[in-house]
Structure 1
Amino acid sequence: MNQSPSPTRRLRWLPYVLGVGLVVALGFGLRPRPAPVETALATSGPLRATVSEEGKTRIKQRYVVSSPVTGQLRRVPFKPGAAIAAGDVVAVIEPMAASPLDPRSRALAEARRDSAVAALEQTRAAHALAINDLKRAQAMFDTGTLAPQDLDAAKIRETVAAREVVAAEGALRAAETELAVNNPAAAPALVEVRAPVAGRVLHVFQESERPVTAGTPLLDAGDPADLEVVIELLSRDGAALAPGARVALEQWGGPKPLDARVRLVEPAAFTKISALGVEEQRVNVVADIITPLTERPTLGDNFRVEARVIVWESEQVLKVPVSALFRRGGESAAYVVRGGRAVLVPVEAGRSSGSEVQVLKGLTAGDEVILYPGDRVSDGQRVQPVKI
């Protein structure tokens, strides 16, 4: 008959059991805990690479209306923003009366007029003769009795004679004007300055009545509805653009961005000092605003906008957040969570949108990558994804 172990023998093994349990408990307690990490999934979707810079609007066709004569400007009745039509009188100038000529100067002016009349008659007669010679040469050429070079010579003589007539007429008008302007009996007629284009007055340089000289700017005019945007980009970014590239205009004052298209990248760059004192080569990129005027009625000339130029875009690429990639040995890499551990994976990166980056090699859609790994994550380390 078997006898059960005595209580004394059972108690003899109890310290060993408790020791083993304690060792196991200490082992689990001292085991490194998984590092909490923020993760994201590699996904497929649209991606666009952009360049953001400040830009300014400007009217495509801006006209500076200047005084055609020297005289007394009458008060300009227009204010900036006033609507004008092509041909409207925007300013009136009373020409300055010329001082009368002395007898000797008048005699010389009359002599120049008489000479101009005689020269005009002479050039008209020469032109009529050249026309007749050309007709005869054409007839002879049609019958095959005149060489082509002789016909060409006759045409050239007729053209030269016609231009001499025009020059003689201009000389006669100049001589007659000199006599008419310096005639004390002739009162100067008022000169009306007219708007060259329909649109709005942008700026009035001379508003009050005052003497002006010929060529003095009076006002600016243009059509505010016909706007373009000038964006100063780094020359390397401008060289990568092509006409037709899309541009989004933000922070212009409206509720949503405006659409624009690049029309021109100017062929000459210029040097500009940045806010940090660094010399930069920049180039002007000109874009046309294609958003309808009804959606931007308050946007005017020389307004500031934030331009986001799209240099590249694709509708379907593999991408991850920029914070998932880091440099390792001169190449890009990322940590992927596999089996509860961080696995170091070399990655070939492509285009970047600033927040996301294209992945060409190394990852597949659905991979869980670690964001902001830093020095706290190493290859093979146990990690615990957390939600932020």
Structure 2
Amino acid sequence: MLRRIVTFVIAVLILGALAWALWPRPLAVETVAIGKRDITVTVEEEGKARIREVYTVSSPIAGQTLRIDRHAGDAVAKGEAVVSIRPVAPGLLDARLRRAAEAAAASARAGVDLAAADVKQAEAQLTYLRTELSRAERLASQGTISESALDKARLAVDTGAANLDSTKASLSVRERELERAEAALIETAVSDSTCCTDLKSPVSGRILRVLAESEQVVQAGTPLLTIGNPADIEVAADILSHDVTEIRPGSAAVIGNWGGPPLAARVRRIEPSAITKTSALGIEEQRVPVILELASPPPQGLGDGFRVVVSITVWQGHDVLAVPVAALFRQGDAWSVYRNVNGVAKRQDVTLGRRNNDDAEVLSGLTEGDSVVLHPSDDIQDGTSIASTSGAQ
């Protein structure tokens, strides 16, 4: 009898242990009670710090630059000479060009001689016509010739005077052509003592880049160096076009990830045209340049061309009911959460307003104090038994 009792007790204990081992346990989850808080929605994008006004000093003439002894970072004052250029001598004439130039000069000289002969002929003709006019006037006073003949003599003098003026003008043209032809034969040389044209800084600031440091021959318009004021820094960021619609001039912003503490800034200008850029994934995107200005003078370490991260505030909500984004998941076309109702997970659809990376504004579906599951896994279903641990709100 005792043996049967012991066997029965052992069997009961074994069955109890099996039941305990197989009994479903609540799923351990992290929960948080939702409440009201401030939410700030921002547009975040990489940007670049740059000096607002950069001046490029270029060569105004073709010449030979002397070696530039200035370096990037050197301070310069407005009107200070930064580059010296020695004019380059014109090329010498080869045999073929010289023969052609000499022939052109000879032709021009012959043209001058021909025009001078025309002038002498016109002068002689005018002298003769004036003599004829004097004779006609005497005969007309005696009644020997008619008034018509006198008028013809006067017309001939006027015509001769005009012809003389024309030949003199032609002579002047031929003389200028001779001067131009003779100038083509002139070969000048620029001596080492002929120096130099100094290029001056258009603004006070610092040299940003020296583009042509060594002594060399440059053409007119060749960039030589750039100058700017490092204290006049702005930030440019290319924002996706659908995000720019919420940004306004004057919007508050924060400049970060430049190597120092975050810097306060504001939007100064939104350019009116978008540009096409290709993302790292090879997708073409329409982006709009947005220019920001710092709220205070730039710090020592921020320089031209530095990479930064721009966060522009597009919306702020004060004391609004918010749910952590980590508690949200998609259920069809709706957003949902799992509420912790007495240790049981209950799926709840919610209507959301604005949201950022951490929190979302709740318009309906939840009330203040509701406990929701953070980071819900696929093991949780509507009605799943859960054991919660408190999470940070």
**Which TM-score tier does this pair reach, normalised by the shorter chain?**
0.5 to 0.7
2:204: which partner in 1?
A: 198
Contact 2:57 2:226 in 1 (8 A): yes
Matched, 1:349 2:352: yes
Counterpart AA for 2:361 = Q
Q: Secondary structure at the match of 2:244?
A: helix
Q: Secondary structure at the match of 2:347?
A: strand
1:132: which partner in 2?
A: none
Cα RMSD between the aligned structures?
3.4
Displacement of 1:198 = 0.7
1:332: which partner in 2?
A: 335
Which structure has the bigger radius of gyration?
2
Q: Secondary structure at the match of 2:326?
A: helix
Deviates more, 1:202-211 or 1:26-35: 26-35
The whole-number CA distance in structure 2 between the counterparts of 1:99 and 1:339 is: 98
Counterpart AA for 1:330 = D
Match of 1:289 among 252, 272, 294: 294
The whole-number CA distance in structure 1 between the counterparts of 2:190 and 2:46 is: 57
Contact 2:346 2:383 in 1 (8 A): yes
1:374: which partner in 2?
A: 377
Contact 1:40 1:320 in 2 (8 A): no
Match of 2:306 among 303, 306, 310: 303
1:32: which partner in 2?
A: 24
Q: Secondary structure at the match of 2:24?
A: coil
Displacement of 1:348 = 0.6
**TM-score (normalised: structure 1):** 0.68
Contact 2:89 2:190 in 1 (8 A): no
Matched, 1:51 2:57: no
Q: Render the CA deviation track for 1:63-107: whole Å, top value 9, x for unaligned.
A: 0001111222112121000001111111111223458998988x9
Contact 2:62 2:220 in 1 (8 A): yes
Q: How does 1:178-217 map to 2 (within 5 A)?
A: 190-217=196-223
The whole-number CA distance in structure 2 between the counterparts of 1:299 and 1:186 is: 46
2:276: which partner in 1?
A: 271
Counterpart AA for 1:368 = S
Gaps of 5+ in 1: 1-13, 109-178
Q: Secondary structure at the match of 1:208?
A: coil
Q: Indicate the percent of aligned positions where both proteins have the same amino acid.
A: 42
1:157: which partner in 2?
A: none
The whole-number CA distance in structure 2 between the counterparts of 1:84 and 1:349 is: 57
Gaps of 5+ in 2: 94-100, 110-182
Counterpart AA for 2:197 = V
Q: Render the CA deviation track for 1:133-155: whole Å, top value 9, x for unaligned.
A: xxxxxxxxxxxxxxxxxxxxxxx
Q: Render the CA deviation track for 1:235-287: whole Å, top value 9, x for unaligned.
A: 11122211112222222111x11122111222222222221222222222211
Q: How does 1:7-26 map to 2 (within 5 A)?
A: none
Contact 2:88 2:190 in 1 (8 A): no
The whole-number CA distance in structure 2 between the counterparts of 1:380 and 1:302 is: 56
The whole-number CA distance in structure 1 between the counterparts of 2:90 and 2:29 is: 90
